[in-house]
Amino acid sequence: MVVNTDICGIKVGDQYPAHVMGIINLSPESFYKGSISSPESVLDTAQKMVEDGATFLDLGSRSTWLFAEHISKKEELDRLIPALEALEGNVDAVISVDTMFSDIAEEALKRGANIINDVSGFTADPRMKKVVADYGCPAVVMASNKIPGDPIGMDSIIEALDSIIQTAEAGGIAPEKLILDPASGRWTEDKLPIYDFETLDDFERLKIFEKPLLAALSRKSFIGDVLGKPANERLYGSLAAAAIAVYKGAHIIRTHDVPETSDVVKLSGALRSRTSVVKESRYEVSVLEVKTPQDAGIAMRNIRATKTGSEIMQEKSIHFVLKIKNLTSTEALIIKQEMLARGGDAALARDAVSHETEFTDLLVMGTLLQFWRLARKLDSQARSLPLIAEMIRECISNRTNLEYRYLR
């Protein structure tokens, strides 16, 4: 499960330093007024970003902010083309264009753009897939279903990206050309900060797709909600979020603030350990980190396991350890025996085995499926074991309960 690819001559992957993508904002409607570049300043802005560490530049001439004023496609193109003409051949960076429309994407690619960044994930304009396939260019696709960024919660983000990948590849786009964006920020009224907390906290789940990951966190609304600050005062919050994203697996950080973000990316990347991979001849062994049954199902589908088989095995793929405190020795021994009967195991104090001590803590080890089966069995037992069964269920469920995880 290791990403190692080439994007327009730039090495991107788990064994390489993360990259910075500088935002060149051509839309006056943007939520962050301090980021707007004029046609006259765009070249200077781009060159300064490259000097400060950007290897990618992302040009956007239509604000995708939820409350931005709507503009026509003609106006979007009229803003974009002069900027592309100013940059062509004058900056040493990979040029990305942020647009949802295939005709604008095609014009941009003709004028030197290298990457298309489609925040709708190919949902706004069905022809976009054909343009990307025909030009053979990389594309950033953001998690979307019907409108940009509408998936709510990480499970929905994973599901949306999985669907986008399948339809893109069916449309002729090479698998290695896709870069994934999990849609951080308030893209819809229902997208509350708690969902962005989950996305960043569980960012490593996106590794299951084995594709380059882009984090677009710069000065986003969830940072403002935590800090109580407007967009122009969210730099430090953005840097903290960028550090976490890189540490959890992001390969590209999209930012308004290139020099500061470059330093953060270098340090957080140095702290991130490499995934264990061993290669010999045609063989490769790597550690696959799977956090949820949903992710396990995607991993199985990627190796072409059957759908039925994947569904059966999903809950066998998640393994963890629960600590249960202050059990009686008898309760602990019953739980251990029941877990052993289901293929798991448990550890308890040596004196508890011989009943020399009345109480003990217990470490219970097993798969998610084994824990569910254990809880069902304990429901019919004596003593306090039905209560323990309910506590086990609640403890496991808290792992995916957003209110429990993030509301203080």
Q: In what order do the strands lie in the sheet with 178-181?
A: 178-181, 139-142, 115-118, 94-98, 54-60, 19-25, 252-255, 214-216
Active-site annotation holds for 220: yes
341 phi and psi angles, rounded to 5 deg = -65, -20
Q: How far apart are CA 18 and CA 408, in angstroms?
A: 32
3-state SS string for 295-342: HHHHHHHHCCCCHHHHHHHHHHCCEEEEEEEEEEHHHHHHHHHHHHHC
Active-site annotation holds for 254: yes
Q: How many C-alpha atoms does 130 have within 13 Å on its Cβ side?
A: 6
Contacts of residue 4, Cβ cutoff 8 Å, sequence gap at least 6: 11, 13, 14, 15, 16
Please identify which of the residues 220, 234, 248, 336 carries the catalytic annotation.
220
Strands 277-280 vs 283-286: parallel, antiparallel or unpaired: antiparallel
Amino acid residing at 62: R
Nearest to 239, CA basis, from 265, 215, 221: 265
Amino acid residing at 222: F
CA dihedral 59, 216, 128, 41 (to 10 degrees): 0
Question: What is the torsional sign of CA 144, 146, 147, 152?
Answer: negative
Strand partners, 36: 25
Please identify which of the residues 207, 211, 254, 291 carries the catalytic annotation.
254
Contact 3, 251 (CB under 8 A): yes
Amino acid residing at 112: G
Strands 252-255 vs 19-25: parallel, antiparallel or unpaired: parallel
Burial class from Cβ neighbours inside 10 Å (0-12, 13-18, 19+) for residue 308 reads: exposed
Q: How far apart are CA 264 and CA 251, in angstroms?
A: 13
3-state SS string for 163-204: HHHHHHHHCCCCHHHEEEECCCCCCCCCCCHHHHHHHHHCHH
Q: How far apart are CA 394 and CA 180, in angstroms?
A: 33
The residues annotated as belonging to the active site are: 220, 254
